[in-house]
Structure 1
């Protein structure tokens, strides 16, 4: 689990390719403190597993599903990447709940500076993601925990403060660049619970009445 508060930006040192499988070796500093084989590390919002490391870098596998579903396949040696270690239970939870399971990708359609903020307009490649993107809700862009300013029929906007811009790879992103998107997990679970019924009985997996609008109304919740 991650918070979306980027700890540092690393530099991609090398990419080993075999079909749709990759091994990324990333030069880093802070995230190497206490690193162990098997640790989870978010790279541009994608949860990857450390398979080896040395004093200045860490290597991680990218499997075909991740290759096809994220922007990691586009990375080249020398590219900067956002890095975050899995969250600890004894630290402040400053962002929002993130799994590092990317829902899809998007393209930056606009970048506009206004006073001390920079507004990014992003168009998801899959319009279905809009069911989970709401104004003032949370979203992760390349692993960065951000708040949705507003939405339109085809895009949404986020506003970036100077600190976040300077400490993440968003400082290099311009219109036309691709980004990884992870929507708020809460909406996905609520939708799943509401939709998981047996049509012929109207009951859930356990045989109890399924969670539905009718159930909530009949029991005084709405």
Structure 2
């Protein structure tokens, strides 16, 4: 299984349960992170000077948070697209960050697709997971992650879009085809989310991003099969492969 995410913390919020579940079951779980999340807002006041508006060291700090989160999920195979620091968090559309020369959403899509295809050719996953065409909530980096994944994963047996998960208010999407029970993985998911302390405040059974709006930490994670054989409502991303 290979998951493509835009920033550190996206993996834990939206897919931490399935990553932990399949890693514990012995599956080879690979995570691709496209940027370091340099433009993220910072929750702890004592770390504010890491921000792009100050020391611009948040990306390196978040890479460390991501490493801790992956350990909590039992995931040991991690890749930064193009190598660590190649692509930078673009921020939201219309912000100055979008004009940065390394901004992920503004980078050459052919190069980025080739970088992801190289990873896919090496890993040869049976299942790939990424965002829907709206990126879940419209972030340009999420949309670009969707675009390159759909272009690069043309030979992958099954491709899923994330149909639900925390982080924002998603737009209506195709109905979920696959709902995964993650109750046994909740402790691992919560630990991974807590690792991203610059971005997430965790108070089970809820969490909040920098806007302070409480959201539930669900006991399931849902996905929509968009490429590959379907067998009706499923509870396994591999679908008997």
Relative contact order higher in (CA < 8 Å, ≥ 6 apart):
2
Mark the structure with the bigger radius of gyration: 1
TM-score (norm 2): 0.28
From the two aligned structures, give the one with the greater helix fraction: 2
From the two aligned structures, give the one with the greater strand fraction: 1
TM-score (norm 1): 0.30
